Amino acid sequence: MSETAFAAGRARVLAAAAGDAAGAASGPRLHSPTGDRQIPTHGRRGAALGSRWRWPRRWVGVAAGVVVIAVGGVVGASVTEGPARATAAEVLDLAAAHVTDARDPVLSPGQYRYTRTRDWALAVDDRGDQKFRHLYEGVSETWRPQDWRAEWVSRYTVTGKRQWVEGTEEAARAAGVHLDEPRTTERRAPCGDFVPELGESGPCANVAGSWRHPTEAFLDTLPRDPAELHRQLDQAAQDVPGGPLAVAADVLATAWVPEDLRAALYQALAKLPDLTVSDRAANLDGRVGVALRAGAGPQAREIVVDPSTGRFIGERVISTQEWEGLPAGTVWSFTSVTIGVADGPGVQPR
């Protein structure tokens, strides 16, 4: 099955699961600089897998499998030349050294690991000479039980909030541009298997886990030696857009990578020869961190870390060249992630 055919079928499954099959059948085509394809945005197990599969007007340069999470923590610790001049490798080595400064939540019996991902994505809908470009917001919430095999809860909310880049709300509605209205979808499933129709998992006993959909058992198998972890990242990144950095970002973005593995991943990524600091004060959603990128291309997928605490607090996708009037440096999508402990499924952390 071709990538296009698989993505189109996957989108129909997810739309039906969300009670939106009619929208999937007649929904607009998604767009990237390489051509129009029926592709959804990227959902992730535990971060409300499948909840981000939405139908925007046209996605600007966002290919299948790209999602972003953003930023946090002010750089406050020192490195060899100070945080303002640290290399990418020094930033990650410092973050690895401070991982234990921000301890992961510890669950008591009956409690849930809570993850909240607030994402903004850029949608474009041009009507003749009129150009409409806006960022729109969605919020994913996941309640993961102590026992991985027990029932998880996933909730996704389209908030209806928009930030206009070009055009106005009034002009867009007058031109017939479809704008997402507020709605919430909730799913429950053991093992976080919210969309079993994808064929990426199965009964709890058969879920092997992967970099994109890590289980506790999968995370336990990953080496803590940075050199060996670097080798495995390289191997897993074959034919993956974004390379090892994207593979590591997928697993880190789940927000439950153990502290020792998170430190090892930072040290493994520090070995990437093309890793650079792209922004020393990446400010998204009111949180600030150091943005790092590797590789080249029309889109740059970046991870953002707080070197002073070792927290992985996100990613973003930024254009590296002009596209359809949007200048290089345009943020196409980003998110911010919050974790906590909840006393029950569907209950907000105190």
**DSSP 8-state assignment for residue 338:** E
Estimate to the nearest angstrom the gap between the alpha carbon of 343 and the chain centroid. Answer: 25
> Residues with Cβ < 8 Å from 55, sequence gap 6 or more?
11, 15, 20, 23, 24, 27, 28, 30, 40
pLDDT digits (tens, 9 = 90+) for 165-179: 899 999 999 999 989
pLDDT in tens, 49-72: 322 323 222 323 222 222 222 222
**Of residues 56, 37, 36, 43, the one with CA closest to residue 14:** 43
Distance CA 200, CA 198 (A): 5
Residue 276 has pLDDT above 90, yes or no: yes
Q: Which two tokens stand for residue 223?
A: 């080496």
The residue that leads in pLDDT, 213 or 187, is 187
Q: Average the pLDDT over each of 36-40, 92-96, 140-144 and give the range with the smallest value.
A: 36-40
| Of 53, 51, 71, 70, residue with least CA distance to 62 | 53
Q: What percent of the chain has pLDDT over 90?
A: 37
Instruction: Kindly state the DSSP code that residue 125 receives in the 8-state scheme.
Output: -
Q: How many CB atoms lie within 10 A of CB 176?
A: 8
SS3 state of residue 114 = strand
Q: Return the closest-CA partner of residue 34 out of 3, 13, 69, 1.
A: 3
Asked if residues 313 and 306 have their Cβ atoms less than 8 Å apart, the reply is yes
pTM score, two decimals? Answer: 0.73
pLDDT confidence tier of residue 19, bands split at 50, 70 and 90:
very low
Tokens of 39: 């592709």
Tell me which residue has tokens 């990237």.
32
Q: What integer pLDDT is reported at residue 324 of this predicted model?
A: 79
Distance CA 189, CA 195 (A): 9
Residue with tokens 């997402």, as numbered in its chain: 180
Answer with the residue of higher pLDDT: 71 or 216: 216
The amino acid present at 183, given as its one-letter code, is R
Please give the pLDDT value at position 81.
37
Q: Give the confidence band of 47 by pLDDT, cuts at 50, 70, 90.
A: very low
SS3 state at 78: coil
Average pLDDT score over residue span 125-146: 92
Closest C-alpha to 282, from 60, 75, 42: 75
Domain boundaries, the chain: 3-342
Please tell me the predicted confidence (pLDDT) of residue 277. 93
Instruction: Look at 63-72, 127-136, 181-190, 313-322 and tell me which has the smallest mean pLDDT.
Output: 63-72
Q: Dihedral sign, CA of 204, 111, 255, 18?
A: positive
Kind of pairing, strands 183-190 and 276-284?
unpaired
